[in-house]
Chain A
């Protein structure tokens, strides 16, 4: 059976690029080297079979032409369209999407706004001392996961990049490293740790602030217990950090989406900056969807801003809290939406989903989801990294090119967006 090697997995922000896939008769038969979730995605599962148009309570099959034409009519007629999603598609799609948002004068936002958006805001406050994953693999002797559970969410992270892997200066792999996990519960990752620190929910900020105080020589002001953690454990952790040769904090949504949001991240980054007085340290967000990072990159170089960009004025206006997807939805401001490669109906607050269900809604996605259920136009697309190629950015912003493994009848996201843009330009008399 022909085997494709060095396949890049289109599942999570790890973008593992050593996957081997056996292909026969234009179908994926076997996947080796991927984690369970990645394997399932590459093998494929329940797809949308045809473009769909809503007729009353029902979604009825139609042609691509009909669906794209209807979608263009909806978007071109909208006064304040929202274009949201983008994290499970390639950068080539993002470029067309941002141009479409400009033409429409719409609001464009990606899923970062409900996961690592607070990270971006923190970075805009204090910066980000970080590195690529290979720096961790080759140098790190102290690895800290804070509010992140890679064993379950980023299946190959520890094996390929962070803990179990061997590196130039860490030839013995995990024997050469210490693993610390900070979390509100004893996750599977926590069970592997040399030190597990359990923090009371929503107290991460306090714990980070206490660590900063200790690192900076003010241990005397720290109370005996902070956020449920005894002071001596924090003193011990601070000492580990200061004496490590190369330390790294990986943080997840346990830190970004719990109480104080971006303030938590600012504290964590500031702690890393403080540690530079003693040693080498880095910090990195555990980005979820395989190309959530890519959208933020493309949006930044094209508009100047990473997400939540409002183009109603003709130029980019960025102000999360005013211009993010949930902002325009909760204010019931947007009057049509295009959702690409994402499922907000499953993840947004109920009032926002209600509004989304009320307005004309176009969805482009390979798979059915709660969002396609409330859509007016559903346009199925090829699966990037399996049926379509293109660029994706790993969680450490290393770009890789996803491969096409099999042929498909489905149009790619990029092709659909381009046709949609053409139709919109026609309606607006711009072409």
Chain B
């Protein structure tokens, strides 16, 4: 494969401690190397910022729920129509783009890895079909494993060993990456139109969400998976939920990590940082959450920031979406998945004229700015829940420019001065911190830095973003523009974006974890429980359940547990 030499760029590579140094990056055979020959194609990055390809640790881009969102919203599809070109397929959609647009638009922003965080195991095949059709970027998906009847039973009996065996089976069967938890217990309760708080027993299963979370964290570490549990906590979106959030983090304080990383990644924390007791006195508690995160090593977060505008909300948290639908009266889709999970979808307009939305908008940014250590924070909008991923450049420009924040704060609801913290925050992120939150931290949290992602050290994947902007530039508009359309994006050593246009569309790889659980006696007992579930309660047979190799034509396999 051709050699590449990226010359004279200002490089931000946080994992390797590079903080804005003028240096060259050498690329050969898809990897970063020490040096290249004189034959190498030279890319002049003078006056440009060079970073590793972006890693999105939490973005709903593929699978049954995302597709139900597209189907629900032809009006959103119309927003992003782009004709077929000599290189690209036809594109559609804004908050729910088609799979092709997802790949192209992320690549244009310099992102090269996506984590789909909510795969219903029964529909794993669907997620993989869509990932296959998402060009350029590498990707992975995490199966939902918290409301599964097998999990509920093992968590109740406290059988962490069998739970670990079951998780290993499911991750292999779904060709998944890690353990996703969404409103543990609450989604099962939604099967009866109910919901669960952290200490409420799940109907008929007599186990609490707190017990489920603890058991899954233990089992996750028992298997030594690359990623920790990935948690969407109970009571998402409810006023006063920050106390539940902090209690949830405390549950796994004593869990011993099996790798050098957190034991819980708490996702879209903006939605979990609310004070007040009702919508009338709703307020930000981002400071309480930030304080906790700074004081503890066992938990990391991603923002789930809200960007003002129309979007499509979607989550496995069925009851939450129903409540949102009751608030707006707009259209609403729900799909409960047998023995496993659920999902809900409803459109939502975050309006700066609405007090609650304004506070939500502030909280996402407050979290990014109040947590002192950027190695604990990943920049996300929980695409498309807080806003479509295409708004990342806006979010980053706001975080980097207090001037821009002040301009927008003048336009939004005045409640921002009373029940949010943003007006009191002076901090502006610099390019290094942005690189940490969009490259270094997500790669490390997911355990991907050991597999060539999120950095530019020798041996790393040659995934590179080059933005045409000076590190001294402070104009928010220019920052936004540079981030939206990279000067170059290089994926696996191939130039895929040039001057903001997609110029090549290689297939991306699908990463998945091959995990082995070694105690044969426990494995057999778990299998016998599982066989009974399939024989009596599932509507597909055990033999037809696991995802075949046909659905990961370009695999990258990470071994874990006894397979490591």
Contact = CB atoms under 8 A, between A and B. Distances in A.
Size category of the binding interface on chain A: 35 or more
Interface in A376-431: 391, 393, 397-401
Nearest to A397: B64
A218 interface: no
A301 B543 contact: no
Interface stretch (A39-47, A121-129, A143-151, A177-185): A121-129
B90 A315 contact: yes
A169 interface: yes
Contacts of A139: 191-192
Nearest to B547: A401
Given A301-B98, A304-B70, A8 B92 contact: no
Contact of B67 (A102, A124, A137, A301): A301
Given A303-B90, A316-B90, A137 B99 contact: no
Given A132-B122, A311-B90, A398-B540, A391 B333 contact: no
A297 B133 contact: no
A314 interface: yes
Given A17-B541, A128-B333, A282-B336, A120 B71 contact: yes
Interface stretch (B48-56, B77-85, B409-417): B77-85
Interface string B37-77: 00000000000000000000000001010111011111001
A262 interface: no
Given A132-B539, A279-B193, A311-B90, A169 B71 contact: no
A314 B130 contact: no
B121 to A, nearest CB: 11
A317 B82 CA distance: 11
Given A128-B333, A168-B537, A305 B74 contact: yes
B74 A314 contact: no
Contacts of A311: 84, 90
B374 interface: no
A123 B67 CA distance: 13
B337 A276 contact: no
B339 A134 contact: yes
A139 B336 CA distance: 11
B192 A246 contact: yes
A138 B534 CA distance: 12
A306 B67 CA distance: 10
Contact of A124 (B66, B71, B97, B548): B71
Contacts of A138: 338-339, 537
A99 B88 CA distance: 11
Nearest to A320: B74
A160 interface: yes
A99 B539 CA distance: 33
A399 B129 contact: yes
B386 to A, nearest CB: 21
A127 B70 contact: no
Contacts of B125: 391, 399-401
A198 to B, nearest CB: 31
A273 B62 CA distance: 26
A131 interface: yes
Contacts of A316: 77, 81, 90, 92
Contact of B123 (A124, A397, A401): A397
A280 B331 contact: no
Interface in B309-350: 322, 325, 331-339, 345-346
B292 interface: no
Interface string A141-171: 0000000000000000000110000111100
B362 to A, nearest CB: 30
Nearest to A272: B334
A429 B454 CA distance: 41
A431 to B, nearest CB: 12
B191 A246 contact: yes
A304 B78 CA distance: 9
B556 interface: no
A245 interface: yes
A135 interface: yes
Contact of A301 (B130, B204, B332): B130
Contact of A123 (B72, B130, B204, B541): B72
A137 B125 CA distance: 22
Contact of A130 (B91, B126, B334): B334
Contact of A315 (B62, B82, B130, B192): B82
B127 to A, nearest CB: 9
A275 B376 CA distance: 44
A398 B77 contact: no
B426 interface: no
Nearest to A92: B550
A122 B333 CA distance: 12
A313 B83 contact: yes
Given A123-B333, A128-B333, A301-B133, A169 B540 contact: no
Nearest to A166: B536
Nearest to B191: A139
Given A301-B99, A398-B540, A127 B346 contact: yes
B89 interface: yes
Contacts of A125: 331
Given A318-B77, A399-B126, A133 B539 contact: yes
A280 B133 contact: no
Nearest to B330: A127
A239 interface: no
A89 B335 CA distance: 25
Interface in A11-27: 17-18
Nearest to B134: A301
Residue of A169, A245, A282, A397 ringed by the most chain B CB atoms within 10 A: A397
A96 to B, nearest CB: 12
B149 interface: yes
A300 B193 contact: no
Contacts of A128: 68, 72, 333-335
A95 interface: yes
Contacts of A130: 333-336
B193 A315 contact: no
Interface in A279-303: 279-280, 282, 296-298, 300-303
Contacts of A5: 543
A397 B126 contact: yes
Nearest to A105: B84
B93 interface: yes
A132 B335 contact: yes
Nearest to B70: A300
A127 B81 contact: no
Given A168-B537, A305-B74, A399-B123, A102 B89 contact: yes
A297 B71 CA distance: 8
Nearest to A430: B86
B111 interface: no
Contacts of B64: 397
Contact of A134 (B84, B98, B539): B539
A134 B538 contact: yes
A176 to B, nearest CB: 14
Contacts of A99: 89
Contacts of B84: 102, 311, 314-315
A370 B471 CA distance: 68
Contact of B331 (A126, A246, A397, A400): A126
A6 interface: yes
Contacts of B539: 132-134, 137, 160-161, 398
Contacts of B93: 304
14 contacts: A91-B129, A125-B331, A134-B122, A134-B338, A134-B537, A135-B336, A245-B192, A300-B71, A305-B74, A315-B91, A315-B92, A397-B68, A397-B335, A400-B544
Interface of A: 5-6, 8, 17-18, 91, 95, 99, 102, 120, 123-135, 137-139, 160-161, 166-169, 245-246, 273, 276, 279-280, 282, 296-298, 300-306, 311, 313-318, 391, 393, 397-401
* Across the A-B interface, the 3 shortest Cβ-Cβ residue pairs: A134-B338, A314-B83, A304-B92
Given A123-B333, A137-B539, 4 more contacts: A95-B133, A99-B89, A130-B335, A135-B338
